[in-house]
């Protein structure tokens, strides 16, 4: 099973290769690809050095799968080239997510929409993935009417430069700025770029992708994205208005029984999800589960997950695993 990782030297790309190892994905030949400046470098996979190649070389190798984490422009340029060669592309950028002909997949939720012949598959935004993992079983039973979301997102979501900026600030070192403002000892309501309507592109992704994955365009969503000075995972405060009445015990049961979710909710023991808990783990942690006392049929959740693992790398590998197991690649 030839498998290419495009963007192999980046934070998510390296984690993708780690997850391929951990989950024993049947890689017969790993093809790490990156920009020209990284060609010739060596990465370690399964204890052996493998040379980074150009994206064109990876295309020419005709792998069964090409897992992308190299940015929107690279995906738009190169995903069709791989697909034309018969390769299944699983893309972590926003390039294809809202294309009506491209499946947007969280395997636990909507793998049923995948079919033989799909050659480009979109991996959702990290914040969307963890949120819909908690919401999917609730939507099926109670039908979600409206969502109000505030995210508290790790600097790892921006990448290596953002982590370096935070570490530099903590140690009093002047360095390259990934953000317009200091991030250590600070937070700001800015993720992605601002649109004319005042929302950011990160907020828009939460709105559009949630509807597509849950297959319900009627869900009303409003979101505010906040960047905070942590690594380890994204956190989300989610207020949900349902069409049907719910029972809190049933809510907890539905979330905990859904594959990949962990209910971690005992406030009296100071047990609630935190980024430090989710770091380097694949589960989605849900806590602070409580009724919204200000409005009928409304629920509050606090959702935390490692944005580099389940929010990106692991979800992409799970898509490949599903296609392989069901022979639809």
CATH number of the domain encompassing residue 156: 3.30.360.10
pLDDT at 190: 97
Per-residue tens of pLDDT for the chain, all 329 residues: 999 999 999 999 999 999 999 999 999 999 999 999 999 999 999 999 999 999 999 999 999 999 999 999 999 999 999 999 999 999 999 999 999 999 999 999 999 999 999 999 999 999 999 999 999 999 999 999 999 999 999 999 999 999 999 999 999 999 999 999 999 999 999 999 999 999 999 999 999 999 999 999 999 999 999 999 999 999 999 999 999 999 999 999 999 999 999 999 999 999 999 999 999 999 999 999 999 999 999 999 999 999 999 999 999 999 999 999 999 88
pTM of the predicted structure, to 2 decimals: 0.96
Say how far apart CA 106 and CA 315 lie, in whole Å: 7
Q: Are residues 234 and 292 in the same domain?
A: yes
Containing 314, the helix (H) or strand (E) segment is helix 314-325
Say how far apart CA 326 and CA 155 lie, in whole Å: 36
Q: Are residues 134 and 225 in the same domain?
A: yes
Q: Are residues 256 and 201 in the same domain?
A: yes
pLDDT at 300: 98
Count of beta carbons in the 10 Å neighbourhood of residue 164: 16
Say how far apart CA 184 and CA 192 lie, in whole Å: 19
Phi/psi-derived region of residue 246, left when phi > 0, alpha when psi is between -120 and 50, beta in every other case: beta
Residues making up the chain, counted from first to last: 329
Q: How does DSSP assign 103-122, residue by residue?
A: -B--HHHHGGG--TT--EEE
pLDDT at 329: 81
- If one counts the domains in the chain, the total is 2
Q: Are residues 161 and 225 in the same domain?
A: yes
CATH number of the domain encompassing residue 16: 3.40.50.720
pLDDT at 71: 92
pLDDT at 238: 99
Q: Are residues 174 and 80 in the same domain?
A: no
Please check whether residue 263 is in contact with residue 251, taking contact to mean a CB–CB distance below 8 angstroms: no
Q: Are residues 320 and 259 in the same domain?
A: no
Q: Are residues 157 and 118 in the same domain?
A: no
Q: Are residues 84 and 171 in the same domain?
A: no
Three-state secondary structure along 167-194?
HHHHCCCCCCCCCCCCCCCCCECCCCCE
Count of beta carbons in the 10 Å neighbourhood of residue 155: 24
Q: Are residues 94 and 175 in the same domain?
A: no
- CB-based contacts of 200: which residues, under 8 Å, 6+ apart? 190, 191, 192, 193, 194, 225
Q: Is 196 exposed, middle or buried (0-12, 13-18, 19+ CB in 10 A)?
A: exposed
Q: Are residues 31 and 166 in the same domain?
A: no
Q: What is the CA radius of gyration of the chain?
A: 20
Structure tokens at 57: 């070389």
Structural domain for 29, as ranges: 2-124+312-325
Say how far apart CA 323 and CA 114 lie, in whole Å: 8
Say how far apart CA 105 and CA 13 lie, in whole Å: 19
Q: Which residues are known to be catalytic?
A: 126, 234
pLDDT at 192: 95
């Amino acid at each position: 099973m030839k498998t290419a990782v495009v963007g192999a030297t980046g934070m998510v790309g390296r984690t993708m290769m780690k997850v391929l190892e951990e989950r024993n994905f049947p890689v017969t030949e790993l093809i790490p690809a990156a920009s020209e400046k990284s060609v010739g470098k060596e990465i370690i996979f399964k204890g052996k050095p493998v040379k980074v190649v150009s994206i064109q070389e990876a295309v020419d190798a005709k792998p069964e799968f090409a897992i992308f984490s190299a940015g929107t422009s690279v995906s738009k340029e190169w995903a069709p080239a791989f697909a034309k060669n018969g390769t299944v592309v699983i893309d972590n950028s926003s390039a294809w997510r809202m294309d009506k002909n491209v499946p947007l997949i969280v395997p636990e939720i909507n793998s049923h929409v995948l079919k033989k012949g799909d050659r480009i598959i979109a991996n959702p935004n990290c914040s969307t993935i963890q949120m819909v993992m908690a919401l999917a079983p609730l939507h099926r039973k109670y039908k979600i009417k409206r969502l109000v979301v505030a995210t508290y997102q790790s600097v790892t979501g921006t990448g290596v430069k953002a982590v370096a900026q935070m570490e530099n600030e903590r140690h009093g070192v002047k360095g390259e700025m990934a953000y317009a403002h200091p991030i250590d000892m600070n937070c700001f309501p800015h993720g992605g770029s601002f649109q004319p309507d005042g929302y950011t592109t990160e907020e828009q992704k939460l709105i559009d992708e949630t509807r597509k994955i849950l297959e319900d365009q009627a869900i009303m969503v409003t979101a505010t994205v906040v960047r905070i000075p942590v690594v380890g995972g994204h956190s989300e405060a989610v207020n949900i208005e349902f069409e049907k009445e719910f029972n809190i015990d049933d809510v907890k049961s539905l979330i905990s029984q859904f594959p990949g979710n962990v209910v971690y909710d005992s406030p009296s023991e100071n047990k609630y999800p935190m980024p430090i808990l989710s770091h380097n783990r694949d589960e989605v942690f849900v806590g602070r589960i409580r009724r919204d006392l200000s409005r009928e049929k409304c629920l509050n959740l606090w959702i935390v997950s490692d944005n580099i693992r389940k929010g990106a790398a692991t979800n992409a590998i799970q898509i490949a695993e599903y296609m392989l197991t069901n022979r639809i690649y």
